[in-house]
């Protein structure tokens, strides 16, 4: 059942150059609407805000508000996955596929969510491990990408799904994306846009040497193994949601599979994913 929220944790990425105005506006609004407000990074222009590590948010907060672009929401989602602490995003970035609260309508929209007028949206993540390790090198809400660390070099690799051989190929890279990430790098690589409610993943090659290698949609519970060729001469990396990558060696196998924990996003009751696609991808532009 929807609930109202009184203990708020603000999540920011300190390197965001357009952050100050947004955080000030949000904190001023919350000062008369919330019992307590904390933030994950100290800010010199708001010294009155108590600072709390995001790992401690679940113990002291009943809602997290991520202020920034989609990258900020991805960071917060990875940190909070599996904690049952819901997350709402305030978009001050460029695209904003994940956040539908805007600074221009902050008071009206955020008040709706704080008073229990929202829709819940559960998103799943992926994890990547190397050579059978039980410790993931990272998790991703958008995508896991294997790519050459140097330009103008192709990667040679083999792909298996659920233990069954799929193909061998050369490409600039390969990625596995969730429905959330299907509008990110996967779309640029020619992959399909997945409905956000689909239990599926996209497997796509980046600039494949053989043009018959097309994006493939597979079940979300699939286990994808990507093994670098022993003859691979390119230095390769595996990256999760575009963060600094992990160096791979020839012969290494990266296993990509569903992360056991999910994250709950909160949207306005009027939220419409197709409307966001039309706006962000200019599908509604008048033809001339």
H or E element at residue 185: helix 185-188
Query: Catalytic: 252?
Result: no
Residue 122: CB atoms within 10 A of its CB come to 10
Residue where the block lists tokens 């929401």: 73
Gap between the Cα atoms of 103 and 180, Å rounded = 23
Residue-wise DSSP of 223-266: -EEEEE-TT--S-EEEEETTSSPEEE-TT-EEEEEEEEEEEEEE
188 token code pair: 């640029």
Sign of CA dihedral 233, 234, 240, 244: positive
Q: Which member of 62, 70, 143, 241 is catalytic?
A: 70
Gap between the Cα atoms of 288 and 286, Å rounded = 6
Q: Residue 192 gets which letter from DSSP?
A: P
Gap between the Cα atoms of 156 and 169, Å rounded = 6
> Pairing mode, if any, of strands 63-68 and 224-228?
unpaired
Give the bridge partners for 140, in sequence order. Answer: 126
Sign of CA dihedral 248, 252, 257, 261: negative
Return the active site residues. Answer: 70
């Amino acid at each position: 059942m929807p609930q109202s929220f009184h203990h708020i944790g603000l999540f920011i990425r300190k390197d965001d150059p357009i952050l100050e105005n947004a955080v000030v506006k949000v904190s001023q609004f919350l000062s008369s609407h919330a019992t307590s407000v904390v933030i994950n990074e100290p800010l010199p222009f708001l010294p009155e805000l108590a600072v709390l590590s995001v790992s401690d948010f679940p113990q002291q907060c009943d809602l997290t508000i991520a202020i920034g672009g989609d990258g900020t929401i991805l960071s917060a989602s990875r940190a909070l996955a599996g904690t049952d602490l819901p997350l709402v995003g305030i978009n001050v970035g460029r695209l904003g596929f994940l956040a539908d609260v805007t600074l221009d309508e902050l008071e009206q929209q955020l008040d709706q969510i704080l008073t229990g007028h929202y829709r819940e949206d559960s998103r799943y993540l992926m994890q990547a491990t190397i050579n059978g390790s039980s410790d993931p090198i990272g998790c991703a809400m958008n995508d896991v990408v294997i790519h050459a660390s140097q330009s103008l070099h192709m990667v040679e690799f083999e792909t298996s799904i659920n233990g069954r051989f799929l193909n061998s190929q050369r490409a600039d890279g390969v990625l596995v994306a969730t429905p959330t990430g299907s509008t990110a790098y996967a779309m640029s690589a020619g992959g399909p846009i997945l409905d956000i409610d689909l239990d599926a993943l996209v497997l796509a090659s980046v600039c494949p040497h053989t043009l018959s290698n097309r994006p493939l949609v597979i079940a979300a519970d699939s286990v994808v193994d990507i093994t670098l060729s022993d003859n691979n001469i390119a230095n390769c990396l595996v990256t999760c949601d575009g963060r600094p990558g992990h160096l791979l060696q020839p012969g290494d196998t990266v296993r990509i599979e569903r992360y056991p924990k999910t994250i709950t996003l909160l949207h306005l009751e009027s939220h419409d994913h197709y409307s966001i696609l039309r706006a962000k991808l200019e599908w509604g532009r008048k033809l001339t």
